[in-house]
Amino acid sequence: MGTVDRTPGEETFARLSSEDVASLAADFAGEIVRPSDPTYNDSREIWNGMVDRYPALVARCSGVADVVAAVNFAREQGLEVAVRSGGHNVAGTAVNDGGLVVDLSGMTAVRVDREAETVRAEGGATLGDVDRETQLFGLATALGAVSQTGIAGLTLNGGYGHCSREYGLALDNLVSVDVVTADGRVRTASRERNADLFWGLRGGGGALGIVTSFEYELHEVGPKVDALFAWFHADDAPAVMARYREWIADAPRDAGVLVFTAHVPDLEEFPEASWGEPAIAMLGSSRGDGDADEVFGSLLEAATPLVDLSGEMAYVDLQSMLDEDYPDGLRYYWKAIYLEELDDAIVELMLEYNEAAPSALSTLDLWHLDGAVADVPQEETAFWHRDKPHMLTVEANWEDPDQDDANLEWAREAIAAAETLSIASGRYGNFPGMYEEPARARYGDNYDRMVDLKTAYDPENLFRLPGNVAPRVDD
């Protein structure tokens, strides 16, 4: 039979020894999914509906032994490895064409050590899984802002969220990890054990192995927090941004605010006359003892809001507030760039490209960083861009496949316009587009050390998905 109509997964699978695949499956406690299996199409679907890839095998792991077996099989067979945790990396790195997907989505156990104030979570857990357990004790670790996101990709690439200015990046809260490296060994990495590997995993984006469990430091957060969520018409942007600049100049570390441009959604919470109109909005939270009016009052007085949804809420509700905005199957393309300061040119860019967005679901987001993120020296972890106080992210979100080109072009043009500004530089691994830029854009001066670690722990580049740093090749 010819191979004309075969998918990349079918072509690679046909070249594999049936005895080798059967041997893998026989000793596998989870499930090995082949291209001919009825569950195959479901197993290769991920959050970003624009990604449509066909692996040769999907290894749905039930535990660390399964991960080891899958890694050994991939290495012996020369298969590229993709790792699925939450499957939310916008570039679709959770699945590949013609390789092996190591699927951790069934490994979601979370255990809180209340006395040590730490939490250990398996590699397939989501933010929601972790928050649900830690909030039983009024504790949380610094993670992201969408509860359906997997902790693995978020943490290994950095991890910004509501608590970042107070407690740092998700990776800054790591105490230890268990990781399966390319040689099939299970290693524990921490500041005391395999410290070089621990350095590289914190920011390495999965280039050095598959983390099967994460141990995080916990902090007293919740169960209630004060949330800020207010929308203003885009015409009020100059007044809103002027007040925002004043606020961030001396903002308390236990509070953070993200400003974004968007279009008013067609929802009953918003005035119907404003539906579809360009808008500027603020989303944030305060977790301190201060009165919310004292913390956020000046921001809400900048202009008359179209709607003000601020108020006290459960921390888990804050963490899941944005979930419905990012459903499975929507089409996504996100890029980010760091900013040394916030000037008028950035505000004008946000308003201009918001107005021109081909999809009303798209946004441009301005993250206020600084605080605890900047406290950590740049050379202490592989994550480099700690010295930048702001990050601009362009989120292209749309439904119609026929609009792919228009939305991709819009997002790329917006980032290109920002890149022309002298205050803009760098890239962030959790908003990578499709990893068009070289890895050095993320690692900065840490790049050469990452190459050394990659060469030591993965010399054959088993974990070679787009965006991963490559090992050094001898001449």
In 3-state terms, what secondary structure has residue 228? strand
Give the pLDDT of residue 473: 86
pLDDT higher than 80, residue 1 = no
Query: Cα–Cα distances in Å, from 247 out to 258, 299, 307, 348?
Result: 12, 7, 20, 19
Structure-token pair, residue 153: 């990709």
Q: What angle do CA 105, 58, 180 make, to 5 degrees?
A: 65
Report the sign of the C-alpha dihedral through residues 189, 193, 199, 200, in that order.
Answer: negative
Q: What is the pLDDT of residues 187-216, one digit of tens each?
A: 999 999 999 999 999 999 999 999 999 999
Is the bond leading into 223 cis (omega within 30 degrees of zero)? yes
Q: At what angle do helices 237-249 and 292-300 cross, to 10 degrees?
A: 140
Mean per-residue pLDDT of the chain: 96
Q: What is the pLDDT of residues 392-426, one digit of tens each?
A: 999 999 999 999 999 999 999 999 999 999 999 99
pLDDT higher than 70, residue 11 = yes
Average pLDDT over residues 235-262: 96
pLDDT higher than 80, residue 440 = yes
Which residue in this structure is represented by tokens 């390789």?
A: 99
Top CATH class, 224-425: alpha beta
Give the pLDDT of residue 466: 78
pLDDT higher than 60, residue 158 = yes
Written as one letter, the residue type at 372 is A
Q: What is the pLDDT of residues 354-397, one digit of tens each?
A: 999 999 999 999 999 989 999 999 999 999 999 999 999 999 99
User: What pTM does this model have?
Assistant: 0.95
pLDDT higher than 50, residue 154 = yes
Q: Quote the CA–CA distance of 425 and 21 in Å, as a whole number.
A: 46
| Cross-strand partners of 33 | 58
Run of H or E residues at 14: helix 8-15
Q: Quote the CA–CA distance of 189 and 109 in Å, as a whole number.
A: 20
Query: Cα–Cα distances in Å, from 220 out to 18, 169, 246, 318, 410?
Result: 53, 16, 28, 16, 41
SS (H, E, C) 346-392: HHHHHHHHHHHCCCCCCEEEEEECCCHHHHCCCCCCCCCCCCCCEEE
Structure-token pair, residue 250: 């001396």
Average pLDDT over residues 317-325: 95
Do the domains 8-103 and 110-220 sit in the same CATH topology, yes or no?
no
Q: What angle do CA 202, 203, 204 make, to 5 degrees?
A: 100
| Cross-strand partners of 199 | none
Backbone angles phi, psi at 178, to 5 degrees: -105, 130
Average pLDDT over residues 48-67: 98
pLDDT higher than 60, residue 109 = yes
- Does the domain at 110-220 match CATH 3.90.1010.10? Answer given as no
Average pLDDT over residues 246-270: 95
Give the pLDDT of residue 288: 78
Q: Quote the CA–CA distance of 383 and 303 in Å, as a whole number.
A: 38
Tell me if 34 sits within 8 A of 13, measured CB to CB. Answer: yes
Top CATH class, 8-103: alpha beta
Backbone angles phi, psi at 316, to 5 degrees: -65, -30
> Residue 368, Cβ neighbours under 10 Å: how many?
22
Break the chain into its structural domains and give their ranges. Answer: 8-103, 110-220, 224-425
Give the pLDDT of residue 289: 76
Tell me if 438 sits within 8 A of 456, measured CB to CB. Answer: no
